[in-house]
Amino acid sequence: MQEGKKKIIYKALANASKRLRGKKSQFILGAEYDIPSSVISDIERAVKDPQLTTIFKLSSAFGLTPSQFLKELEKELPEGFSVSEE
The closest alpha carbon to 40, from 52, 53, 54, belongs to 54
Q: Output the pLDDT for position 24.
A: 94
Q: Calculate the alpha carbon distances from 59 to 1, 2, 72 in Å.
A: 25, 26, 10
pLDDT tens, residue by residue, 21-33: 999 999 999 999 9
Number of domains in the chain: 1
In a domain, 58, yes or no: yes
Report the share of the chain in percent with pLDDT over 70: 97
Residue 78 DSSP code:
P
pLDDT tens, residue by residue, 39-61: 999 999 999 889 999 999 999 99
Contact 16, 75 (CB under 8 A): yes
pTM metric for this prediction = 0.88
Residue 54 sits in which domain range?
Answer: 3-75
Report the share of the chain in percent with pLDDT over 90: 83
* CATH code for position 47: 1.10.260.40
- Dihedral sign for Cα atoms in the order 44, 28, 21, 13: positive
